[in-house]
Amino acid sequence: MRNILVTGAAGFIGSHLVDRLLSHGLARVVGVDNFNDFYDPAIKRRNLEHHSRDRAFRLFEADIARSADMDRLFGQNRFDCVVHLAGYAGVRPSLQWPLFYEEANVRGTYVLLEAAHRHNVSRFIFASSSSVYGLNSKVPFSESDPTDQVASVYAATKLAGETACRLYSHLYGMRAVCLRLFTVYGARQRPDLAIHRFSSLISQGTPIQIFGDGSSMRDYTYIDDIISGVVAALDYAGGNFEVINLGGSRPVELRRLVELLESGLGRKALIEYMPEQPGDVPITYADITKAARLLGYTPTTTLEAGLETFLTWFRGIALGWKWKATQSRHAGI
């Protein structure tokens, strides 16, 4: 059985990946997370509490940007693969705190790659972002499209992470796969992300802010589909370096998203229209041809179905019960 390190294991995507790997018996998992206060650390701790007695899982509280912490972690464990999901996320916050993003997302990635190289880890999977496509006007976004028009610090750090992975793959023969993720949503979604934030505000009767006229489009991708793509990348046996889109390939206007949330919550949204924000892009739209060819990736969850599951979880946490891995529509998530 493989031994896999998952960074950012207590976060939204990381905790779902841990669920899948453990519930399907795919690996022994070591998770690492520094439980920073980007959002409430107690939320992240709850994401993993149902694995506290699982003998195939261990959790380390450490900072990926600290070489000493990672030297100790890699020295005490043998890993077949690193799945690197940790880092600061979000376009707008990155404009406020660019140096924090550089430290976590760029230095953190280099620290992990160097540790993986020195400890003979053969496979490295990096969670990149659709934001690297920036202001590209050609859609859908393909992996061969230029990435010289990034519009945020966050995007720049993700692009730097991809470059680091390419470098270590070239220098040391490490198999590195960079997965460009498109607007992931689902149960346990971070509270600052649009679907979760809008749901909370609409439920409270508090106005939501829409930047621009609501015509911006995002390729919302359900968490189960993303995790299937990540797991498929664990078995990718092609070239030593690849960049692959993981998206739903069905972009939806922001105002349509609000309509679906209004319907699901049974309440009308109070909307404040605001000027467009620096760093925002008009559309994200994944060309997933390469993912289908190399990973067998086929997203199956419509936005309508995914939001129904998300809102079931959202109502549940509002009532105080805990979401468990077995409560998902798909086994193991």
The reply to whether 224 falls in a domain is yes
Domain that residue 65 falls in: 2-189+220-250+283-300
Domain count, the chain: 1
Residue 82 to residue 4: CA distance in whole angstroms: 6
Q: For residue 81, is pLDDT > 90?
A: yes
Q: Considering 110, 133, 154, 185, which one is annotated as catalytic? A: 154
| Any domain includes 22 | yes
65-79 pLDDT, tens digit per residue, is 999 999 999 999 999
Q: Identify the CATH number of the domain in which residue 139 sits.
A: 3.40.50.720
Whether pLDDT at 323 is above 60: no
Residues 6+ apart with CB under 8 A from 85: 6, 7, 8, 9, 11, 13, 14, 17, 127
Q: What is the average per-residue pLDDT within 166-191?
A: 97
Residue 89 in domain: yes
Q: Name the percent of the chain lying above pLDDT 90.
A: 88
Read off the pLDDT of residues 283-295 as tens digits, 9 standing for 90 and up: 999 999 999 999 9
261 within domain boundaries: no
Query: pTM of this prediction?
Result: 0.93
User: Taking CA 333 as the corner, what is the angle to CA 253 and CA 174, rounded to the nearest 5 degrees?
Assistant: 90
Enter the tokens of residue 256. 């349509």
Does the residue 184 lie in any domain?
Answer: yes
Mean pLDDT for the stretch of residues 229-236: 98
172 catalytic residue (yes or no) = no
Round to whole Å and give the CA distance between 149 and 152.
9
Q: How far apart are CA 164 and CA 156, in angstroms?
A: 12
* pLDDT tens for each residue of 123-149: 999 999 999 999 998 999 999 999 999
Alpha helices in the chain (DSSP H): 12-23, 41-48, 67-76, 91-96, 98-101, 108-118, 153-172, 194-204, 223-234, 254-265, 289-295, 303-319
Comparing C-alpha atoms, which of 162, 277, 133 is closest to residue 212?
A: 277
Largest CA-CA distance found in the chain, in angstroms, rounded: 56
How many angstroms separate the CA atoms of 316 and 328, rounded?
Answer: 13
Our CA dihedral for 226, 229, 231, 236, rounded to 10 degrees, sits at -160
Comparing 58-62, 80-84, 88-92, 265-269, the range with the smallest average pLDDT is 88-92
Residue 136: inside a domain, yes or no? Answer: yes
For 125, list phi and psi in degrees, rounded to 5: -110, 125
228 in any annotated domain: yes
pLDDT over 70 (residue 322): no
Antiparallel, parallel or unpaired: β 217-218 and 252-253: antiparallel
Rounded Cα distance, 34 and 60, in Å: 8
Percent pLDDT > 70 in the chain is: 95
Residue 332 falls inside a structural domain: no
pLDDT band at 319 (very low <50, low <70, confident <90, very high): low
Mean pLDDT across 51-59? 95
- What is d(CA 207, CA 271) in angstroms, rounded to the nearest whole number? 5
Q: Which helix (H) or strand (E) holds 33?
A: strand 27-33
3-state secondary structure of 61: strand
Residue 320 has a pLDDT of 55
Residue 326 has pLDDT above 80, yes or no: no
Any idea which residue has 């699901």 for tokens? 264
